[in-house]
Amino acid sequence: MFCLVKCSKKKVLLSVTALLCCGGILAAIQQTKAVSGSVYEELYPDMYVNTGNEFSPEEGKVVYYTFDDGPSKNTIAILDTLKEKGVKATFFVTGQEVSGVDSDAILKRIVDEGHSIGMHTYSHVYQEIYSSVENYLADFQKIREKIIRVTGVEPKIFRFPGGSVKNSFASPSVQKAIRIEMRRRGYIYYDWNLVSGDDKSYMTDTDTLIRNIVNGAKGKDKVVILCHDDSMRVSTAEAVGPVIDQLTAQGYRFEKLTESIEPVQFQNNDET
């Protein structure tokens, strides 16, 4: 401050310019670090898993029934049907609390009854979680910690909200960086190859869902069905029994996803 008072206007301008330049250089350095991953790679040092390098062989016709966005009362109905049919499924869960539902009890039931549980998102607010790698990791860590605390299980699989590519709320570069970082930490993500049609802003009727799934499975030996079990999806729960019956009659068996199952993933440019 004393120097600025004593200096000429020219020197003051030069000093200010120098400070601004230094500030710009520092900002550029910080930005480069963020892009290179040297900053976010240091976050959450316990958020690593060992998933191995080999997948188990899959034989015959197999269906992986997967549900996103729960838990809710519809998750309970789905679990009831799965138990009745003797079928295992996969639940990619959120941290959202639903009024009148004991979310922790449902998460524990998923695991206790032998189903797979994986991370989906804690908040499910796309604009926040996809704004940066750091924000995605923060959200991921919250749902991971909740699953571990409630169930005692360290989940190793997850599903990106909206899928792993071409998300309208994420820039391609940010989403690519997230995929690469999650892969580096050992986690495996699973997309899908059959959309049930229950992802609308309204509830799709039960018969339409059954038809979409049964017809969509034709010609596929490996089917990963995308369904949702949030509080709106009553028809999704109603469709589970008929879908199991009809696909079983067509020679399919039902399995759950684990880190030993080779994932269905949308095409990306991560290698370039």
Contact 191, 164 (CB under 8 A): yes
Helix (H, G, I), strand (E, B) or coil at 260: coil
Contact 94, 120 (CB under 8 A): yes
Distance CA 169, CA 217 (A): 29
pLDDT, tens digit, for every residue of 207-242?
A: 999 999 999 999 999 999 999 999 999 999 999 999
DSSP 8-state assignment for residue 109: H
- The whole-number pLDDT of residue 272 equals 65
* Alpha-carbon torsion angle 145, 270, 161, 141, nearest 10: 10
158 burial type by CB count under 10 A (0-12 exposed, 13-18 middle, 19+ buried): buried
Q: Looking at the chain, which runs of residues are DSSP E strands?
A: 62-68, 90-94, 116-121, 157-158, 188-189, 194-195, 222-228, 253-255
Query: Which tokens go with 108?
Result: 């524990």
Q: What share of the chain in percent tops pLDDT 70?
A: 86
Cα 131 to chain center, whole Å?
15
Question: Regarding predicted confidence, which is higher, 176 or 9?
Answer: 176
Query: At 15, phi and psi to the nearest 5?
Result: -65, -45
Question: Regarding predicted confidence, which is higher, 41 or 28?
Answer: 41
The mean per-residue pLDDT over the stretch 175-184 comes to 96
Q: Name the pTM for this structure.
A: 0.85
Query: Does 102 have pLDDT greater than 70?
Result: yes
Query: Does 122 have pLDDT greater than 90?
Result: yes
pLDDT, tens digit, for every residue of 49-72?
A: 999 879 999 999 999 999 999 999
Query: Which tokens go with 210?
Result: 């059954």
- The whole-number pLDDT of residue 166 equals 85
The overall average pLDDT reported for the chain is 88
Query: At 102, phi and psi to the nearest 5?
Result: -90, 90
The mean per-residue pLDDT over the stretch 105-133 comes to 97
- The whole-number pLDDT of residue 214 equals 98
